[in-house]
Structure 1
Amino acid sequence: MEKKFTTLLKFPCTFTYKVIGLSQPELTNNIVKIIQHHVPGDYAPQIKPSNEGIYLSISITIFAKNFKQIEKLYKELIKIHLVKMVF
């Protein structure tokens, strides 16, 4: 997978994560906290509720230095107990 990313992306670059999780107030805060821990900065995630209001879709863009940074954040974000999917 790393080889595929490195051929498609030229580092450093912007990279957007889309996180789907249960609609709870702490979901966005937990996502931003993890991202800031690994890639300090100010973030303004885009948040969209599902039609039923059960889930949130949160898009957040970082400035990635390398593939390992992207991979590490995927692994950290999926560990959040409210998160159902990260892509």
Structure 2
Amino acid sequence: MTQNYDRDELWQFPCEICFKVMAVNRDGIDMEVAEVVNRHAPNDYSPASKLSRDGNYVSLSFMVVVETKEQVDAMYREVFTVEGVKMTL
């Protein structure tokens, strides 16, 4: 049986999360996503990246310290404004 959890009950702010983005692989996508993340959780980010088997997509992972639920929500919303972003985890 699957149990649903409310993230507010699981996360105790401030906390560090892994913010993962799946996107079309194109020049500069990593820096554009990093700019969004930096606006919401300022730091000097160098994301871990992994290409898909065919090289068409890239997974970008950022370890981010967040202070509030609203900060997390805003970061997830804004990252979808970057052209080519397909999914976040």
- Work out whether the TM-score is over 0.5: yes
* Equivalent position to 2:37, from 23, 35, 41: 35
3-state secondary structure, aligned to 2:6: helix
**Unaligned runs of at least 5 residues, structure 2:** none
Choose 35-44 or 25-34, whichever is displaced more: 35-44
Residue 7 of structure 1 is aligned with which of 6, 9, 17? 9
Task: Quote the Cα distance in structure 2 between the aligned partners of 1:22 and 1:43.
Answer: 20
Which structure has the bigger radius of gyration?
2
Deviations 1:29-80 (A, max 9, x none): 0011111112111112110000000000111111000111011000001121
Aligned residue type for 1:44? S
Aligned length: 85
Written as runs of structure 1 = structure 2, the 5 A alignment for 1:42-81 is: 42-81=44-83
TM-score by length of 1: 0.92
**TM-score where L is the length of structure 2:** 0.90
4+ residue stretches of structure 1 with deviation over 3 A?
none
Q: Structure 1 residue aligned with 2:18, among 16, 19, 23?
A: 16
The CA distance in 2 between the partners of 1:24 and 1:52, in whole Å, is 13
- Indicate the structure with greater helix content: 1
Q: Give 1:16 deviation, angstroms.
A: 1.1
For 1:73, give the aligned amino acid: M
Partners of 2:70 and 2:48 in 1: CA distance: 24
Structure 1 segments unaligned to the other structure (5+ residues): none
Percent identity over paired residues? 27
The alpha-carbon deviation at position 86 of structure 1 amounts to 0.9
Cα distance in 1, alignment partners of residues 72 and 62 from structure 2: 12
